[in-house]
Chains A and B, each alone.
Chain A
Amino acid sequence: MITVNVTVNGKKYKRDVEPSKTLLRFLREDLGLTGTKEGCGAGECGACTVFMDGHTVNSCMVLAAELEGRSVETIEGEAKEGVLSDIQAAFDRHHAIQCGYCSAGMVLSVRELLKRNPKPSVEQIKEGIEGNFCRCTGYQQIIEAVLDVSGQEGSKGELHYV
């Protein structure tokens, strides 16, 4: 066991962890933060994306034993006192969520993108979330949500019948 001191969503934790435990399992099993999902366990799908020291990582590819002194933010820290963040609200508004399994990782990847680039083009949005698979949406409603939240009402306005 290795002892680590880590801050998660602003709260300090001191925990003993097995050397082989991933950050993903640490969050889910040791801290009960199950909003972060495992999609593949191999760093390929992006479902388990979290922030570590201000940048997104696939939490299935980070070992908990490496967390000493670090700061982690998960989807549970995104809404403040039950009020959706602007990214979450845009995802909700644009129906950018279907089954919900990729949503936590997707939202955090968008946050990282907007931090670097507050007004990304469609191509830049694609680059920003290219590490996140969504099997349900075809991605377009996600792109529309990002355009909206970055103040570029690129979405095609109200849905209509022909």
Chain B
Amino acid sequence: MSRILESELNVQGLTAYIDDSDEPRGMLHGTLAVTPCARGRLLGIDPRPALALDPSVRVLSAACVPGENQLGASVPDEPLLVEGEWGFKGQGIALVLAATQAMARKAATLVAIDYEELEPVLDAREASSRGSYILPSRTMASGDTSSAFARSAIVVSGRTESGGQEHVYLETQGAIAEPREGGRVFVLSGTQAPSGVQHAVARVLGLSMNAVEIETRRLGGGFGGKEDQAAGWAALAALGALATKRQVKVYLSRREDMAWTGKRHPYSADFRLGLDAEGRILAFEADYYQNSGAACDLSPAILSRTLFHAASAYRVPNLRVTGRMCRTNLIPFTAFRGFGAPQGIFVMECALDAAARAGGWDPIELRRKNLLKEGDVFHFGQPLANCHTGRSVDRLLEKSGWKSLRAEMDSFNASHALEKRGAAILPLAFGVSFTKLVMNQGGALVHVFHDGSVSVSTGAVEMGQQVSRKIQVIAARALGISEARIRVESTKTGTVANTFPTAASTGADINGMAALAACEEIRARLLSFAAKRLGAELGNLRLEGEFVVNGCEPTDLGWNKLVDEAHLERVDLSAHGFYATPGLFYDMKAERGSPFAYHVYGCAAVTATLDVLRGTYRFDTATIVHDSGESLDLSVDLGQTEGAFAQGLGWAALEDLRFDSKGSLLTDTLSTYKLPDIHFMPEMEVEFLADAGNPKAVMRSKAIGEPPFMYGIAGYFAVLDALRSARPDLAPSYDLPMTPEKALAILTGAGAPAKGAQDASALAPPKPECAEGALS
């Protein structure tokens, strides 16, 4: 048997996703008639042309929603179905049901919509200048930046842009809803947040949460895109199911998924960095303009992570950063691996890049000089503990043979006119925990069956990150039995309630701890039974290798016998476990506290070779030294590290999300939206830090999902480094992704991209605080 049950099934095509479920006779398929432009006002809907298509067609509009027509979880600004004015193209106006998916799609195009088109706002800065925000801006500050800038020997400032990013989870979004007796509803949902979907469905249908059950078996990828964004599809399916008393399936095509669902937030930012004559950072200021899209979704939490990671892995004694959630007429942007941190870290790296040029410093030495050290205090007041950033950087430079590599590249560049090589490093300090305190809790339910097999349910959703594998390892170790006895169940809201999304890299941390608590409780009951049965001292007993062990002596109580006898003696073989991450607090007014349980450290180096005539480039190598604590499964953590890096590199260099001037998504297929293929990826060499056991998470492990995404940012600067070898006369703007098109524009001097085109060090300092800049 495979070590990882999920993999063994996956590789045979035996794992079932939403679209693999049986479709019983009478099932209806649902899709949306959507808003035809980015901003408009709905004047009327005529369903008759659609209804004429087939007797099975039903068209449900906002008026048919029995509960609250609202999906917005933190701000009520996103109706399930449009009423009155709408804010983005591709928002649902009517749910269209029909006997087949093809017929539903055809019928949806026949729904006649009478509307008035309004002028959209697409750019974050323009929205800001009009005062169009989701919520008031937020500022974090420490020290005194004004006097620190005054003391600085060098001050650089500039503007940065970073683009959005499509999740491209290979399984598109969807849900199947089934009416149950007594007005209840069951939904099979492709979501990272089953309890969140349960709440959304109950709200839309006007039901109590105990009338709604959500099950998530697994996802064909999530990456943040199936948190709040999954609620709509489940709510629509449930709405259709209750209206028709039939099963209803809503499952998006790739094009629909790309056009109708949220993506990573594009950001625009202004920065200012002050350093002393030796290159030590004295002050940093930044203003972030987050393009939040037309509705709140998770934008405040994403902005908060940007602000928390504003200083990245560097010590910044005086800092002031302000973030604005700019409401535009694009699709509501949402969570994506890294969750605002990559956007913030990119700005700090741009500032250091500008400083290295202005001060004539070696970029690596400048970064090393400013690395965070044990005991340094972040700008939000949390001291840094168990810091391994410096160690990671040192090891990375040694492992990559940095000095000779640099010399080799310089001599290559000196002797090659048509090809240039470049390199960059990215040190990492990534905070782990949901920055919203309430979300740092989770539950588990563990059953030991009387044949000795074990079932573990938690709130965690399996989406390829192998959280189920990690929970299996935890349960097996806690009970002292073989991993083969443990089965990790699908995620069901009726089994483990009030859970939070599998997100923020915390899936294994929180749910693993809850599973551990439940297993420990069962183990205690079993050992207490064994002590009586054996007449032994309880304190001497433990479960190990499938046996009760008494001190150093084996006993006759093997796992099966133990469980069977305990069951006959009426010992409870089930337990609920609960975990709330300890030590977290945050004062939003003061912007001070300890929002993270711990940080994840590491460093990456990326090298690239640029074709000077064409602007095309290839990434040659990626070397990563990463801190995964005491890994629960090294091959899983390796896969997460490489995969997250690939997505980060895609965001930094390749993935070019584009809208036209009217707010229509141009990149709505995999032929127009390019994501990393096998040729794009460099050879990756990953090492995990030894002796980095983490006292703050389950079995001394560390969260792995998001942190390595940041390493991809080094790819942007590696290409920039090569570009500078080719054109030392030019000072390119900071505009991510660094696509070959942009590289060519820089090489030919044709054009620096429209936005933020000035020399970074020559730009004016950022504008003073806007009027709305009060603390939120």
- Which A residues are closer than 8 A to B by beta carbons? 28, 34-42, 44-45, 47, 74-76, 78-79, 84, 88, 91-92, 94-95, 97-104, 107, 126, 129-130, 132-143, 156, 159-162
Contact = CB atoms under 8 A, between A and B. Distances in A.
B463 A97 contact: no
Interface in B594-649: 625, 634-636, 638-639, 642-643, 645-647
A94 B646 CA distance: 18
Contacts, number: 175
B639 A135 contact: no
Interface string B661-684: 000000001110001111101011
Nearest to A161: B690
Given A84-B12, A133-B675, A161-B688, A100 B6 contact: yes
A130 B677 CA distance: 7
B171 interface: yes
Given A40-B669, A129-B678, A133-B670, A99 B219 contact: yes
B524 to A, nearest CB: 32
B19 interface: yes
Of the four ranges (under 10, 10 to 19, 20 to 34, 35 or more), the interface on chain B belongs to 35 or more
B17 A37 contact: yes
Given A78-B12, A161-B688, A100 B675 contact: no
Nearest to A44: B670
A162 B687 contact: yes
B4 interface: yes
A129 B687 CA distance: 26
B171 A101 contact: yes
Contact of B221 (A36, A75, A135, A159): A135
Given A88-B12, A140-B642, 20 more contacts: A34-B13, A38-B19, A42-B254, A42-B669, A91-B7, A97-B7, A99-B169, A99-B218, A101-B221, A103-B10, A103-B13, A129-B678, A132-B678, A133-B675, A138-B684, A139-B646, A140-B684, A141-B635, A141-B639, A159-B634
Interface in B684-733: 684-685, 687-691
B13 A104 contact: yes
A45 B670 contact: yes
B2 interface: yes
A156 B399 CA distance: 15
Contacts of A42: 254-255, 669-671
B102 to A, nearest CB: 8
Given A101-B17, A162-B625, A130 B679 contact: yes
Contacts of A95: 4, 7, 635-636, 638-639
Contacts of A76: 12-13
Given A95-B4, A101-B221, A162-B687, A35 B12 contact: yes
B638 to A, nearest CB: 6
**Contact residues of A: prevailing secondary structure:** loop
Contacts of B634: 159
Contact of A98 (B2, B465, B625, B669): B465
Contacts of A162: 395, 399, 625, 687-690
A161 B220 contact: no
Interface in B194-222: 218-221
B252 to A, nearest CB: 11
B253 interface: yes
Nearest to A74: B13
Nearest to A128: B678
Contacts of A97: 7, 10-11, 464
B365 interface: no
Interface in B1-31: 2, 4, 6-17, 19-20
B170 A98 contact: no
B670 A40 contact: yes
Contacts of A142: 678
Nearest to A20: B102
A99 B463 contact: yes
20 contacts: A36-B13, A37-B13, A37-B17, A39-B170, A39-B171, A78-B12, A91-B11, A92-B2, A92-B4, A92-B11, A97-B11, A98-B221, A129-B678, A133-B170, A135-B647, A136-B643, A138-B646, A138-B676, A159-B638, A161-B690
Contacts of B471: none
Contacts of B642: 137-138, 140-141
Contacts of A102: 170
Interface in B144-201: 167-171
B466 interface: yes
A154 B676 CA distance: 23
Given A139-B681, A162-B690, A99 B639 contact: no
